[in-house]
Amino acid sequence: MANRPRLARWSMSKHQWLALIGGISLFIWGLSGLAHIVMVLFGPQQAEFMPPMRTVDMAGAAPVEQVLASAGIGKARAVKVVVGEDRNLLQVTETPQTPRRYFRLDDGAELKGQDARQAEFIARHYLKERRAVAEIVHQTQFDADYPWVNRLLPVWRVRFAGDDRLTAYVHTETGSLAAVNNLTKTRLQTVFRWLHSWEWVPPQLEWLRVMVITAMVGSLAALAVTGILLLVAIRRGKRLAGSKGWHRMMGYVLALPLLMFSVSGIIHLVQAAFERPTSQMRMSPPVDVAQARYPIERDWAEVAAGLDVAGLSLVEAPDGRPLYRLGLAQPKGAMPKGEHDHSAHAGHAMPMGDTAIRNARFDGVTPTGPALYIDAATGRPWADGDKALAKALGRRFSGAPDSAITGMEIVTRFGPDYDFRNKRLPVWRIDYGTPVNATLFVDTATGVLADRTENWQKPERYIFSFIHKWNFLFPIGRVGLNIVVGVFVVLLLGFMAGIGLVLDRRRRRHQKPLAR
């Protein structure tokens, strides 16, 4: 190859010129990325993965219509039966941001302040924590400790007594643990925000943050490219001695990972600059619950005969009529062993060997099976079913007709398109073509838009998931994935940044006498 010496000289000059800024950049983003991996591996984890479960039995319950009417509730965003600490309760969400109201099923009595107690019960269920609660606050905005990527609002911030400041963020409508922090995780999150995403930069200087980070991380991509060109252009018959030999040898192993991290990071940074940092979750307009005149509790023995009812909620049919939705439990044996729905654990790290437990939080499997519908006004079965209701929700949240739908399926597990931060399963995935050009995920149990992804966002999400976070290694499990990524980051810091900066310093020292 005649041009190989010229390619080698050009690549070497650029590689050496980029060494200082690239090495510093690698330390900044490598160490902060390592902080995130440490946080995932050793941060507070959940002890329980299945949500609280109790069969719904409405026999002998107070009429739902009367309970709501007595409480002055004519319309509500969500009405459902939830598992309380010692009994099932009727939960009512009147507005998205206010605490939810609760009523006893047997006599319809309202339990004042129950939403906070429900949050504490859920936190203790998932964390298996017995310490006293030091603070419980209803949180309606995202903040540094509970950022917008967690998706769910409002939540209850439940902090337990103790120096570790174990804090659970509980979403009572879904009965899930949205996030869990302790003092160590909070500090690691601070390191990540300051060094990895540079959230300390004022919003009015967002353009400068994007430009500086792009330049610095771009130097890593350029280092990887010029390093690969050097490996191709310069062939060695035997390994060089000392740090040069180590640096070159590790280049064969680490050049591609460095290129993957840097290029995917830049793509994520630029796209995030154009996206508004907000949750896509939306609740349906209020349901006219005053029309729910059918006394389902009177006929419960007949309605639920032979059924294992895991959930009961009031939803709105496409024509506006209220429906009772009976969510059925999964058939025995349908739940894959070791893989459950997620939430959280006490302020201790789980044993490293328990990969099934850690994977459960991210994989998730729906705890309920199919659903049946009953007209809440007449008591007649509503035969259209879940798919028809999902389409109606899609029309509501997209504003597009059914003819715009290009694909539709039920999602029972978390994945790259719909990840564990959304908490809700099962949901319907609805793919839309023109004019929507987006995918919507809707929850028929409460008529909620769980998430929305625009088509133009999807390539970046796959790139970030599989190339930056290395989720292509999912077969080895969440723990194995983070260990592998962590090992590569440590190698990049040690052999590429560390030795590279030493070589750059030596080169600069030798150049000084020549300059005189």
449-458 long-range Cβ contacts below 8 angstroms, 24+ apart: 449/280, 449/281, 449/282, 449/283, 449/393, 449/397, 450/280, 450/281, 450/418, 450/422, 450/424, 451/151, 451/280, 451/281, 451/418, 451/422, 452/280, 452/397, 453/280, 453/417, 457/271, 457/275, 458/417
Which residues, 6+ apart, have CB-to-CB distance to 412 below 8 Å?
Answer: 365, 366, 425, 426
**How far, in whole angstroms, is CA 300 from its chain's centroid?**
37
Domains of the chain: which residue ranges? 4-42+201-277+477-510
Instruction: Assign 476 a pLDDT band (cuts: 50, 70, 90).
Output: confident
Q: Which residue has the higher pLDDT, 163 or 45?
A: 163
Q: What would the DSSP string read from start to end of 328-373?
A: EEPPTT-SPTT-----B--SSPPPTT-HHHHHHHHH-B-SEEEEEE
Q: Which residue has the higher pLDDT, 482 or 113?
A: 113
Residue 455 has pLDDT above 50, yes or no: yes
pLDDT in tens, 321-346: 999 999 988 765 444 333 333 322 23
Q: How far is CA 40 from CA 36, 261, 353, 359, in A?
A: 6, 18, 14, 12
Portion of the chain with pLDDT greater than 70, in percent: 83
For all residues of the chain together, what is the average pLDDT? 84
SS3 content of the chain, % helix, strand, coil (to 5): 45, 20, 35
Instruction: Assign 504 a pLDDT band (cuts: 50, 70, 90).
Output: low
Relative to beta strand 287-288, strand 438-443 is unpaired
Q: Which two tokens stand for residue 211?
A: 């430009």
Q: What would the DSSP string read from start to end of 188-252?
A: HHHHHHHHTS-TTS-GGGHHHHHHHHHHHHHHHHHHHHHHHHHHHH---SSPPSHHHHHHHHHHH
* Spatial distance between the Cα atoms of 229 and 3, rounded to a whole number of angstroms: 12
Residue that is written with structure tokens 């030091």 in the block: 134
Q: How far is CA 515 from CA 20, 137, 508, 510, 512, in A?
A: 19, 65, 10, 10, 5
Which residues, 6+ apart, have CB-to-CB distance to 488 below 8 Å?
Answer: 254, 257
pLDDT in tens, 436-452: 999 999 999 999 999 99
Residue 9 has pLDDT above 80, yes or no: no
pLDDT in tens, 255-291: 888 899 999 999 999 998 888 777 788 999 999 998 8
What is the mean pLDDT of the segment spanning 470-483?
A: 82
Q: Which residue has the higher pLDDT, 18 or 315?
A: 315
